[in-house]
Amino acid sequence: MIKLLRAGFFRLRKEIIFWLFIISSVVVAIFSLNHWQSSNETYVLDKIINNFTLYIGFFIALFVSIYVGKEYSEGIIRNKIIVGHSRASIYISKLIISIVVSLLCELIYVIIVLIVGKILDIKTHVTLQKMAMCIIDSILMIALYCSIFNFISMIFSDITLSTIINVIILVVSFIITFYLFNISNNPKYFESTITDADGNTTVISQNPNPFYPGDEKVGFAKTVECLIPFSQAQIIINVEEESLYKILIFSVIEICIINMGGIYIISKKQLK
Amino acid sequence: MNYILETNNLSKNYRRSKVLNDLNMHIEKNAIYGLIGKNGAGKTTLIRLICGLQKPTSGTYSICGISNKSKDINKARKRIGAIIESPSLCLNMSAEDNLKKQYKITGIPNYEGIYDILNIVKLDNTKNKKVKHFSLGMKQRLGLAIALVGSPDFIILDEPINGLDPEGIIEIRELILKLNKEKGITFLISSHYLDELSKIATCYGFLNNGKIVKEISQKELEQNFKKKIQIKIDNVKECVRYLEESSIPYKIISDDIIDIYEKINVSELITALSKRNCTVNKFQEKEETLENYYLNLIGGAEND
């Protein structure tokens, strides 16, 4: 495994897609800072930091599809098997490299945001504990993305096909996320409130929302949100405390299932 | 016998089609084994099985005495190198970087010997030139260089001279012979270029319909080669009548050409034929080629 990782990281230095991924994280950091600066909000550092989780899926999809796809098309995977490496170790090494690269890009983004945020005096209301939870969830979300895209790329072994499938997965997860949040963000009641001169708000009436889908449906939507990495990103940005813990558990389970399935399928696959 | 590769009733099915059918094959150490068979005979499938890219449906094979059923088969694979269809190369790297990567894959701790390998395959002067700018021959030589990393005992080459120009073919041929003689590396080479294969192989395996129809050494093959006399005549009917009467084996090649497969007294034949109003216009002694041997063998196997 260590041999494969060494060879993989050695190859990375020459990979254009790797450098494009790094550059993209810098560009997105600058773009995010610029966007939030124009909004004139002070307490948004957490939002800016977590903002990359929304975009990173796209970059991971492209990176993993191209990186793994090229290994197939150039016969590198075949070569690794011929010299006696197991398929499972090849699969896991690809996954580890994808996760490390993605985390590196996330780290570059966060460092840029923190440094510039400090200079621009951008603050946050979010507690350190919640922020730590968001970071752990972000790491798991990245690992989940890598697991999904690595699974697809290793199974389909065709650079074009796996890129298309991975991008489709992203688009579909975006649509599902949009649909789920439409359900879960539906308020049960419409409240009429009065705010006095001191800024205190009092609820004066509560009317049921006729379009409220029901507690069961909302609960189901909230659970599914925690399963889909794109929805997870939205939850992390919104720092939804209750769902942050669910993401942690669900992601670990999903990562295990996907990778065990992937290793099983790849060990049975007829390679050319 | 000490075989570097041995297969026992190896079979491979793809859905309903049987690509390899109880195949038995034996490659001795230090041999250059020419695997010959038409398209679809199962050559590449056999190589894929040996290299661990696919699993056999039934039967076994052993590399350096280690069975594919053994847990140590991956250790045995460390002793082989292979080029299957096309060499495994990172196109955006130089030849040296490709070798460095292979060193890391095989777990060799330092880069000692890289320049020796590049020198053997005559790529030591390519410097930082990326592989994507290499000619097909250079890529094939680099593929061989990569297969050489880790000092393998056995190298498998699937169609190594496909698409190469005459110069490239000669380079690869000389390289294989050099590695076989100097480093004692055993080769398994599948190729359609029988004439080229006959220049290097020390033994052959003829593959047809998923089976090894015949395994034969170069020496045995030379002894088996039938010498023939080809005559051009103006009266085939009379000539055939004479050959039949004299019980001489023959084969009609065209309207005016007959091959005779027996040592005959030439002047006797010409005199006998002229008495039957048949004139011999041309007379040529020919030795059978590997190609003819293969065609006769496969033709015979198919008729069986």
Higher pLDDT: A12 or A38? It is A12
Query: Touching check for B18 and chain A: CB below 8 Å?
Result: no
Please count the structural domains in chain A: 1
Is B27 in contact with B188 (CB distance < 8 Å)? yes
Is A11 in contact with B75 (Cβ distance < 8 A)? no
Is A11 in contact with B84 (Cβ distance < 8 A)? no
- Asked if the model's pLDDT at residue A43 lies above 80, the reply is no
Residue range A68-95: average pLDDT?
A: 88
Residue A189 lies in a domain: no
Facing A14 at nearest CB: one of B88, B97, B146: B97
pLDDT tens sequence across B220-239? 777 766 677 888 888 888 88
Query: Touching check for B92 and chain A: CB below 8 Å?
Result: yes
- Asked if the model's pLDDT at residue B263 lies above 80, the reply is no
Domain boundaries, position A246: 2-168+229-268
Res B77: pLDDT: 85
Residue range A80-91: average pLDDT?
A: 89
Measure Cα distances from A155 to A73, A98, A263, B89 in Å: 13, 16, 9, 21
**Cα A54 from Cα A22, distance rounded (Å):** 16
- Asked if the model's pLDDT at residue A38 lies above 80, the reply is no
Picking from B13, B19, B88, B156 by the largest number of A CB atoms within 10 A of its own CB, the best residue to mutate is B88
**Cα B204 from Cα B198, distance rounded (Å):** 9
Res B299: pLDDT: 67
| Domain boundaries B226-287, corresponding CATH code | 3.30.70.100
- Report the amino acid identity of residue A223: T
Is B211 in contact with B23 (CB distance < 8 Å)? yes
Task: Supply φ then ψ for residue B61, to 5 degrees.
Answer: -145, 155
The per-residue pLDDT of chain B, averaged, comes to: 83
Range name among A60-64, A241-245, B100-104 with the lowest pLDDT average: A241-245
Residue reference for tokens 């009092």? A202
Residue A133 lies in a domain: yes
Query: What percent of chain A has pLDDT above 90?
Result: 28
Listed in order, the ranges of chain B carrying CATH 3.40.50.300 are: 3-221
Given the candidates 3.30.930.10, 3.40.50.300, 3.40.30.10, 3.30.70.260, the CATH classification of the domain at B3-221 is 3.40.50.300
Residue A215 lies in a domain: no
ipTM over the 0.90 cut-off: no
Residue range A152-181: average pLDDT?
A: 90
Listed in order, the ranges of chain B carrying CATH 3.30.70.100 are: 226-287
Nearest CA in chain A to B83: A79
Range name among A133-137, A260-264, A268-272, B218-222 with the lowest pLDDT average: B218-222
Residue A213 lies in a domain: no
Res A95: pLDDT: 93
For residue A270, the chain B residues in CB contact (below 8 A) are 53-55
SS3 content of chain B, % helix, strand, coil (to 5): 35, 30, 35
pLDDT tens sequence across B176-194? 888 888 888 899 998 887 7
pLDDT tens sequence across A173-201? 999 988 888 888 878 778 787 887 777 77
3-state secondary structure of B209: coil
Residue A25 lies in a domain: yes
Query: What percent of chain B has pLDDT above 90?
Result: 1
Residue A122 lies in a domain: yes
Residue A179 lies in a domain: no
Higher pLDDT: A261 or B40? It is A261
Q: Which of B190-194, B199-203, B297-301 is modeled with the greatest confidence?
A: B199-203
Residue range B28-52: average pLDDT?
A: 86
| Cβ neighbour number for residue A139 with a 10 Å cutoff | 15
pLDDT tens sequence across B110-143? 888 888 888 887 788 887 888 888 888 888 888 8
Chain B contacts in chain A segment 78-107 (CB below 8 A): 78-86
- Asked if the model's pLDDT at residue A71 lies above 90, the reply is no
Res A264: pLDDT: 93
